[in-house]
Structure 1
């Protein structure tokens, strides 16, 4: 049987390139690429008859960003609600492409890109997550924190990725502190590649109230385990519901994202603790099971300071961009090769 893959993505994006390489390594034709700009611009969409269609991230493309959020600096913070409306409309157009088999459920992708809905799904399924609430302003944030007795929280835009606009916020003795990658230019907030700290309450209020109209998801701060004074968490990739790849992310601040200065840590320090490692894998599998129509997920899982408790911080629809990372079974397959293998096995 002849198998043909197609991918919705941004041509030249590393995800598209790495997925194409994984397909070619199996002796199959390069995937047919449907550009996100065509999807969002309303162009007629098509793919080879019977193609297995993978939906990938829009990537970092200025033209695509403008189609999703409107004209402006691609690095700007905010506009998440507009971005989400355009993105989900695009997903609906992709789902309507005739003659293809989708490798990802578009409704599930929509949930994964809404932190409030995703958190609710996980919580309902009994997956360990920090308790949370929605907030519509800085005043509401402070009131709801006070009512719960919480002093430290993470404030997250409802729709976003790569920690854009995320704020690690704490209050103590009337003083506030907010750590974020959002940099105020005097006119707007831009994503920075380094974390910065705001301690003037007026600055924090301005940032929170700027983000609030797009929707905010707030979670109680989960104290994370640390190594040599640096906190860490893990990104665990699942394929067909099973954890297949994992990387430890170590950061100097409250956020461990690799593009914000986080570094890959020693996975063996977690795997060596057999009970903890099994708990991490089981938690990630339970999170992935909430999205059975998704070929792969990227689960961000935190280990508590007791080195026993775990909690899921995020589940990402496009969390598999981890170049050079081999699979946990030792077969030397990267995240894309593992997904291609799973698809071909299931297709056969």
Structure 2
């Protein structure tokens, strides 16, 4: 079995262990750097595509030379990543994730359009090409609060939670003024600074979402990362944060999922159904990572994003009580005969 990824990366190691446990044998890791530099490719059997995100060398090949911590460069990254995926798809073998579906998941604008067409609840969205256009769109739509997201970004890179009230404004982001990603979330209130940030990110494409007020628990607001395997929700983690971005690497913490399930009651089944219907939009992908928001009324829901590589959740047991990890559930599904049903 082939894994296109990064040798020594946690994802490859964890999936490799799961593959052995479930009788799939040893995996062979083909580095993304090999794919992106045009190395010869010829696959047979099953092929798993993993994230290139843990490799600084792959990042240079995808975005060009520069500080790996910088925000931006998403359009170049996306174009080169898709070219690499095209090479993988043409190399033979049977992919466990459909290339066209990965392309959709990595374009927030297209992903929201697909979900909306399928009747999946999503926040209202639009695209803008500048700070001036952002303010115009917010005014015309009566949206005082929005999330501004690079169309092809991940891990909250360059994401700005932006709100206005009269002449006052506030922007919360992990991006520094020189467009570097920081683990310390910052707040800007100076319009000149915010305008410069938005205009610097705009050439790569911006997806703007109407702010969906999220429910809160002790510790802050939360959302759910729900992993689906073979179309079924198998794992969930509550990500709790005192800032608008709930990403764990930005200070978010794992919340008490049991307490949240108890508070939701029958709505928990509805939430899992939303995630299953979201996964059904990507039938060629063995796994999806669905970011589901629960509203402040504990009744409304909306899908914020769908992640092609959203299964790195060490130590998280399955919802069915089996104790299986995200990777073990995938290996089990493969061993049971799961194959892509993308057309």
Is structure 2 residue 219 aligned with structure 1 residue 222?
A: no
Shift of 1:28: 3.9
Query: Aligned equivalents of 2:86 and 2:321: distance in 1?
Result: 38
Specify which of 159, 162, 174 is matched with residue 169 of structure 1: 162
Q: 1:177–1:97: structure 2 CA closer, same or farther, 3 Å change rule?
A: same
Specify which of 62, 70, 78 is matched with residue 64 of structure 2: 70
CA displacement 1:140-172 (0-9 Å, x = unmatched) = 000010001110000000001000000000000
- Aligned twin of 1:271: 261
Query: Aligned equivalents of 1:227 and 1:134: distance in 2?
Result: 32
Query: Aligned equivalents of 2:338 and 2:286: distance in 1?
Result: 13
Query: Aligned equivalents of 1:300 and 1:329: distance in 2?
Result: 20
- Aligned twin of 1:311: 302
Query: Aligned equivalents of 2:155 and 2:332: distance in 1?
Result: 28
Specify which of 138, 141, 152 is matched with residue 145 of structure 2: 152
Shift of 1:330: 0.8
Indicate if the aligned counterparts of 1:270 and 1:276 stay in contact, CA closer than 8 A: no
Deviates more, 1:222-231 or 1:156-165: 222-231
- Aligned twin of 2:312: 321
TM-score with structure 2 length normalisation?
0.97
- Aligned twin of 1:117: 110
Specify which of 118, 132, 142 is matched with residue 135 of structure 2: 142
Deviates more, 1:192-201 or 1:269-278: 269-278
Shift of 1:29: 2.6
The 4+ residue runs of structure 1 with deviation greater than 3 A are none
CA displacement 1:167-204 (0-9 Å, x = unmatched) = 000000211110000012xxx31111121001000000
- Aligned twin of 2:203: 213
Is structure 2 residue 289 aligned with structure 1 residue 295?
A: no
SS of corresponding position for 2:337: helix
Structure 1 residues not aligned, in runs of 5+: none
Q: 1:13–1:34: structure 2 CA closer, same or farther, 3 Å change rule?
A: same
Is structure 2 residue 44 aligned with structure 1 residue 39?
A: no
Indicate if the aligned counterparts of 2:157 and 2:175 stay in contact, CA closer than 8 A: yes
Q: 1:43–1:27: structure 2 CA closer, same or farther, 3 Å change rule?
A: same
Indicate if the aligned counterparts of 1:34 and 1:45 stay in contact, CA closer than 8 A: no
CA displacement 1:305-339 (0-9 Å, x = unmatched) = 00111110000000000000010011111000000
Number of residue pairs aligned between Structure 1 and Structure 2: 338
Is structure 2 residue 53 aligned with structure 1 residue 59?
A: yes
Higher relative contact order (CA 8 A, sep 6+): 2
Query: Aligned equivalents of 1:270 and 1:284: distance in 2?
Result: 16
TM-score with structure 1 length normalisation?
0.95
Shift of 1:227: 1.1
Indicate if the aligned counterparts of 2:24 and 2:331 stay in contact, CA closer than 8 A: no
Q: 1:31–1:86: structure 2 CA closer, same or farther, 3 Å change rule?
A: same
RMSD value, Cα: 1.1
Structure 2 residues not aligned, in runs of 5+: none
Query: Aligned equivalents of 1:68 and 1:161: distance in 2?
Result: 14
Shift of 1:277: 0.3
CA displacement 1:223-248 (0-9 Å, x = unmatched) = 01001361001000000111000000
Query: Aligned equivalents of 2:68 and 2:95: distance in 1?
Result: 29
- Aligned twin of 1:200: 190
